[in-house]
Structure 1
Amino acid sequence: MARLEDIARVIRSKNAGPYCVTLDILFGDEAAYRRVERSGAITRERMAALYRRPVEAVEVFHHPAALAMKVSFARQVPAGSVQDTDLYGAQQHVLLYPIEVP
């Protein structure tokens, strides 16, 4: 087993508008991308559980040509609101680092 942070070249997060966060997972080669894709480590259900969102509020996109995966989900509060703790959505990706990939 390896951690996702050891397999992916880039793991980052950012706002996708004021009501949504997107997580990007970029790979350096096709073997790494295929390994994570086949493992089922990045699924809608797993991301919903990890980020404590309803499954219907989470989308997972696979882009084999770009060797990338994208996860998008609704923010709990709008970006910049008084309750917001991450204005740019730039700290949300750290939960992905320790995901174990066979």
Structure 2
Amino acid sequence: MNIQETNQLLIRMQVIDNRQIGDSTVLAWHELVADLDYATAVEAVKLHQRESTAYLTPAHVRANVERILLAGVEGREDEFGNELDVDEPALAAHRRLTSARAIGVTS
């Protein structure tokens, strides 16, 4: 994710939680999320905003990106070989990303 995308991600959050965004905020977030794919980060933010009332932090975004990526892995099992329950909200986000990429749409 580039710095402009980080700013756009923060603007998406601001619309919901009224956070204040300045250059230092964008730079601080960018240090923590720059390695993430922008479209996946957007889905991670949406996932958080649908499920939680907690103030959104970079750790929440990173955790939800991981949830989304793992949701797309077929036949996931725990360390004992038990099949894991499907994370339906994360799987829906994964499907939206896959579908958008297949037709060449970006967020």
Name the TM-score class by shorter chain: under 0.3
For normalisation by structure 1, the TM-score amounts to 0.26
TM-score (norm 2): 0.25
With a CA cutoff of 8 Å and minimum separation of 6, indicate the structure with the bigger relative contact order: 1
Q: Which has the higher helix share?
A: 2
Which of the two has greater strand per residue?
A: 1
Name which one, 1 or 2, has greater alpha-carbon Rg.
2
